[in-house]
Chain A
Amino acid sequence: MLQKDFRRLALILLFAPFALWIILLILLPHIGMIALSLREKVAPRVYEYGFANYMDFLNEPIYWNTLLRTGSMSLLVTALALLIGFPVAYYIAKLAGNRTRGALFLLCLIPLWVSDLIRAYGWILLLRETGVLSSFLQWAGIVDHPIEFLYNDVTVVIGLVYTVMLFMIVPLVSTLDGMDNSMIEAGYNLGGNGFTVLRRIIIPYAMPGIVSGCIVVFMLTAGSYLTPILLGGKNSSWFTEQIYNQFISRFNWEAGAAFGILLLLFTSIVIWLGLKLSGQTLANTVAKS
Chain B
Amino acid sequence: MLAQDKATPFLWGYRLYVAAFFVFLAAPLVAASIFAFNDSVFPALPWQGFTLDWFFNDSEPKLGMFHDRRLLRGIYYSFVIAAFVSTLSVTVGTTNAFLFVRGQFPAKNFFYILMIVPLVIPGVILGISILVLASNTANFLENRFDMELELLRPGIFLVVMGQFSFITTITSLVITARLKKFDESMEEAALNLGASRARVLRTITLPFLRPAMIAAGIVAFLVSFENFNTTLFLVGSEAPLTITMYDRVAKVGSTPVLNAVSFALIIGSGLLALVSILVQRDKTVR
B43 CB-CB contact with A under 8 Å:
yes
Contact of B130 with A29 in the complex, beta carbons under 8 Å? yes
228-242 of chain A: CB within 8 A of chain B: 229-230, 240
Q: Which size bracket describes the interface of B in this complex?
A: 35 or more
Contact of B129 with A33 in the complex, beta carbons under 8 Å? yes
135-177 of chain A: CB within 8 A of chain B: 135-136, 162, 165
1-48 of chain B: CB within 8 A of chain A: 1-4, 11, 14-15, 17-18, 21-22, 24-32, 35, 42-46
Contact of B270 with A113 in the complex, beta carbons under 8 Å? yes
Residues from chain A with Cβ under 8 Å of B125 in the complex = 33, 223, 260, 263-264
Task: State A122–B222 Cα separation when bound (angstroms).
Answer: 19
Q: A18-B95, A253-B132, A264-B122 are in contact. Are A188 and B262 (CB under 8 A)?
A: no
Q: A33-B128, A91-B18, A117-B228 are in contact. Are A216 and B103 (CB under 8 A)?
A: no
Our pick among B99, B128, B262 for the contact of A257 (Cβ within 8 Å) is: B128
Contact of B31 with A115 in the complex, beta carbons under 8 Å? no
Which residue of the partner chain B has the closest CB to A165? B25
B98 CB-CB contact with A under 8 Å:
yes
Which residue of the partner chain B has the closest CB to A28? B133
- Binding-face segment, B49-57, B64-72, B205-213, B271-279: B271-279
CB distance from B153 to the nearest CB of A (A): 15
Contact of B99 with A115 in the complex, beta carbons under 8 Å? no
A95 CB-CB contact with B under 8 Å:
yes
Our pick among A84, A115, A162 for the contact of B225 (Cβ within 8 Å) is: A115
Contact of B124 with A91 in the complex, beta carbons under 8 Å? no
Contact of B31 with A14 in the complex, beta carbons under 8 Å? no
Contact of B258 with A121 in the complex, beta carbons under 8 Å? yes
**Binary flags per residue of B222-262, CB closer than 8 Å to A gives 1, else 0:** 10011011001100000000100110011000100011001
56-108 of chain A: CB within 8 A of chain B: 84, 87-88, 90-91, 94-95, 104, 106-108
Task: State A243–B120 Cα separation when bound (angstroms).
Answer: 18
Which residue of the partner chain B has the closest CB to A136? B45
Contact of A121 with B262 in the complex, beta carbons under 8 Å? yes
Task: State A122–B17 Cα separation when bound (angstroms).
Answer: 22
Task: State A282–B165 Cα separation when bound (angstroms).
Answer: 18
A125 CB-CB contact with B under 8 Å:
yes
Which residue of the partner chain B has the closest CB to A115? B226
Residues from chain B with Cβ under 8 Å of A188 in the complex = 3
Q: A95-B2, A109-B273, A113-B222 are in contact. Are A15 and B105 (CB under 8 A)?
A: yes
Residue from B15, B95, B122, B266 having most chain A Cβ neighbours under 10 A: B122
CB distance from A245 to the nearest CB of B (A): 12
Task: State A13–B92 Cα separation when bound (angstroms).
Answer: 11
Question: Number of contacts between A and B (CB, 8 Å)?
Answer: 249
B265 CB-CB contact with A under 8 Å:
yes
Contact of A260 with B128 in the complex, beta carbons under 8 Å? yes
CB distance from A181 to the nearest CB of B (A): 9
Contact of A17 with B116 in the complex, beta carbons under 8 Å? no
**Binary flags per residue of B111-128, CB closer than 8 Å to A gives 1, else 0:** 111111111111111101
**Binary flags per residue of A198-230, CB closer than 8 Å to B gives 1, else 0:** 100010000000000001100110111110011
Residues from chain A with Cβ under 8 Å of B21 in the complex = 84, 88
Number of A residues, CB within 8 Å of B: 88
Contact of A226 with B246 in the complex, beta carbons under 8 Å? yes
A252 CB-CB contact with B under 8 Å:
no
Contact of B105 with A11 in the complex, beta carbons under 8 Å? yes
Contact of B124 with A260 in the complex, beta carbons under 8 Å? yes
Contact of A123 with B246 in the complex, beta carbons under 8 Å? no
Q: A124-B249, A188-B3 are in contact. Are A247 and B128 (CB under 8 A)?
A: yes
Residue from B24, B45, B111, B228 having most chain A Cβ neighbours under 10 A: B45
B86 CB-CB contact with A under 8 Å:
no
CB distance from B221 to the nearest CB of A (A): 10
Contact of B133 with A114 in the complex, beta carbons under 8 Å? no
By Cβ-Cβ distance, the 10 closest A-B pairs, closest first, are: A223-B122, A122-B28, A194-B1, A115-B226, A29-B129, A122-B32, A25-B165, A14-B99, A113-B269, A29-B133
Listed A/B pairs (30) with beta-carbon separation below 8 Å: A15-B105, A17-B92, A21-B92, A21-B168, A26-B121, A29-B130, A33-B132, A88-B21, A112-B273, A113-B272, A117-B228, A118-B32, A120-B28, A121-B254, A122-B29, A126-B31, A130-B44, A135-B44, A135-B45, A162-B24, A194-B2, A216-B119, A223-B122, A225-B124, A225-B228, A257-B132, A264-B121, A282-B117, A282-B120, A286-B119
Interface residues of B (CB under 8 A from A): 1-4, 11, 14-15, 17-18, 21-22, 24-32, 35, 42-46, 91-92, 95-96, 98-99, 103-105, 109, 111-126, 128-133, 136, 161-162, 164-165, 168, 173, 222, 225-226, 228-229, 232-233, 242, 245-246, 249-250, 254, 258-259, 262, 265-266, 269-270, 272-274, 277
Given contacts A110-B266, A119-B28, A248-B233, 10 further A-B contacts (CB under 8 A): A11-B105, A32-B129, A95-B14, A107-B22, A117-B228, A119-B32, A126-B31, A219-B120, A223-B125, A283-B113
